[in-house]
Structure 1
Amino acid sequence: MRGRRILIPLPNTGSMYRKRNTYYMRGIIFMAVLIFLFLKLQIFTFYDNHDSVLMEPTNDSVDAIMSMVPSVLHKFLTPKTLLHNGSNLIGALNFVDLYHPPNITEINRQIAKYNDMQLVLNEYTFGPLQNDSVIIVVQVHTRITYLRHLIVSLAQAHDISRVLLIFSHDYYDEDINDLVQTIDFCKVMQIFYPYSIQTHPNQFPGVDPNDCPRDIKKDHAIIRKCNNALYPDLYGHYREAKFTQTKHHWWWKANRVFDQLEITRYHTGLVLFLEEDHYVAEDFLYVLEMMYKRTTDLCPQCNILSLGTYLKTFNYYTYNSKVEVMPWISSKHNMGFAFNRTTWNSIRTCAKHFCSYDDYNWDWSLQHVSQQCLRRKLHAMIVKGPRVFHIGEWRFDQKIALVKKY
Structure 2
Amino acid sequence: MTSVMFTNNCSLPDIKRSIAQYNQQQFVYNENIFGPLQSDSVVIVIQIHDRITYLRHLIVSLAQARGISQTLLVFSHDYYDEEMNSLVQSVDFCKVIQIFYPYSIQTHPHEFPGEDPGDCPRDMKREQALLTKCNNALYPDLYGHYREAKFTQTKHHWWWKANRVFNQLEVTRNHTGLVVFLEEDHYVAEDFIHILKLMENRCKESCRHCNILSLGTYLKTYNYYGDSKKKEALRAIKQQFIKNVGQVHPSWTFQVLPSLYQHPQKVEITPWISSKHNMGMAFNRTTWMQIIECAAYFCKYDDYNWDWSLQHISQNCLKQKLHAMVARGPRVFHIGECGVHHKKNNCESTSVISKVQQVLKSAKRHLYPDNLILTYTTILKKTKLRKGNGGWGDRRDHKLCMGMTIR
Aligned to 2:169: 261
Matches within 5 A, 1:191-270: 191-270=99-178
In proportion to residue count, which structure has more helix? 1
Residue 185 (str. 1) matches residue 93 (str. 2): yes
Specify the code of the residue in structure 2 equivalent to 1:308: G
The one-character-per-residue Cα deviations of 1:129-148 (angstroms, maximum 9, x if unpaired) are 00000000000000000000
Partner of 2:274: 330
TM superposition shift of 1:386: 0.3
Q: Residue 289 of structure 1 is aligned with which of 183, 197, 216? A: 197
> SS of 1:323's equivalent?
strand
Asked whether 1:303 is paired with 2:216, we answer no
- For residues 389 and 298 of structure 1, what CA distance do their matches in structure 2 show? 27
- TM-score normalised over the length of structure 1: 0.74
Percentage identity across paired residues of the two chains: 69
Pairing partner for 2:58 from 121, 131, 150:
150
Decide whether the 8 Å contact of 2:294 with 2:313 is kept in 1. Answer: yes
Residue in structure 2 matching 1:125, options 33, 43, 66? 33
The reply on whether 1:398 has 2:355 as its aligned counterpart is: yes
Q: Determine the C-alpha separation between the residues in 1 that align with 2:56 and 2:176.
A: 29
Question: After the TM superposition, which residues 45-124 of structure 1 pair with which residues of structure 2 at under 5 Å, given as runs?
Answer: 101-124=9-32
**Corresponding residue of 1:355:** 299
In the superposition, relative to structure 1, how do residues 100 and 362 fare at CA in structure 2: closer, same or farther (>3 Å)? closer
Q: What is the aligned-residue RMSD (CA, Å)? A: 1.6
- Alpha-carbon distance in structure 2 between the residues aligned to 1:399 and 1:292: 25
| Matches of 2:58 and 2:8, distance apart in 1 | 29
Structure 2 counterpart SS, 1:305: strand
For the residues of structure 2 that align with 1:352 and 1:310, how far apart are their CA atoms? 29
Task: Could you tell me which runs of 5 or more consecutive residues in structure 2 were left unpaired when the two chains were aligned.
Answer: 225-258, 338-348, 364-407
Cα distance in 2, alignment partners of residues 166 and 331 from structure 1: 24
Residue aligned with 1:322, SS: strand
Q: Give me the whole-angstrom Cα distance separating, in 1, the residues matched to 2:302 and 2:25.
A: 35
Which of 31, 45, 48 is matched with 1:137 structurally?
45
Give the CA deviation at 1:297: 2.7
Q: Alignment partner of 2:274: what SS? A: coil
Alpha-carbon separation, structure 2, partners of 1:402 and 1:241: 37
- In structure 2, the residue matched to 1:73 is none
- Unaligned 5+ runs, structure 1: 1-49, 54-98
Which structure has the greater CA radius of gyration?
1
For 2:50 and 2:270, locate their aligned partners in 1 and report how far apart those are by CA, in whole Å: 34
**Deviation of residue 318 (structure 1)?**
5.1
Q: 1:19-52: per-residue Cα shift (whole Å, max 9, x none)?
A: xxxxxxxxxxxxxxxxxxxxxxxxxxxxxxx9xx
SS class of match (1:249): helix
Task: Return the offset for 1:319.
Answer: 4.9
CA deviation digits over 1:260-318, x for unaligned, max 9?
A: 01110010000000000000000000000110011023311100000000001112535
Match of 2:322 in 1: 378
Is the contact between residue 62 and residue 190 of structure 2 (CA under 8 Å) also seen in structure 1?
A: yes
Q: Is the 8 A contact 2:8 2:81 kept in 1?
A: no
TM-score (normalised: structure 2): 0.74
How many residues in Structure 1 have an aligned counterpart in Structure 2? 310
Following the alignment from structure 2 to structure 1, what is the Cα–Cα distance between the partners of residues 171 and 336?
31
- Name the counterpart of 1:346: 290
Question: For each residue in 1:104-161, what CA deviation from the matched residue of structure 2 results, as whole angstroms up to 9, or x when unmatched?
Answer: 1000100011011100000011111000000000000000000000000000000100
Q: Identify which of structures 1 and 2 has the higher relative contact order when contacts are C-alpha pairs closer than 8 Å and 6+ apart.
A: 2
Are the counterparts in 1 of residues 181 and 281 from structure 2 also a CA contact under 8 Å?
A: yes
2:242 maps to: none
- Amino acid aligned to 2:218: Y
Task: Supply the distance in 1 between the matched residues of 2:115 and 2:357 (Cα, whole angstroms).
Answer: 37
Alpha-carbon spacing, 1:101–1:403, altered in 2? closer, same or farther (3 Å):
farther
Give the whole-Å Cα distance in 2 for the aligned partners of 1:100 and 1:349: 41
Name the structure 2 match of 1:44: none
Distance 2:10 2:320 in 1: 46
| CA distance in structure 2 between the partners assigned to 1:319 and 1:295 by the alignment | 21
Deviations 1:66-123 (A, max 9, x none): xxxxxxxxxxxxxxxxxxxxxxxxxxxxxxxxx9621110001000110111000000
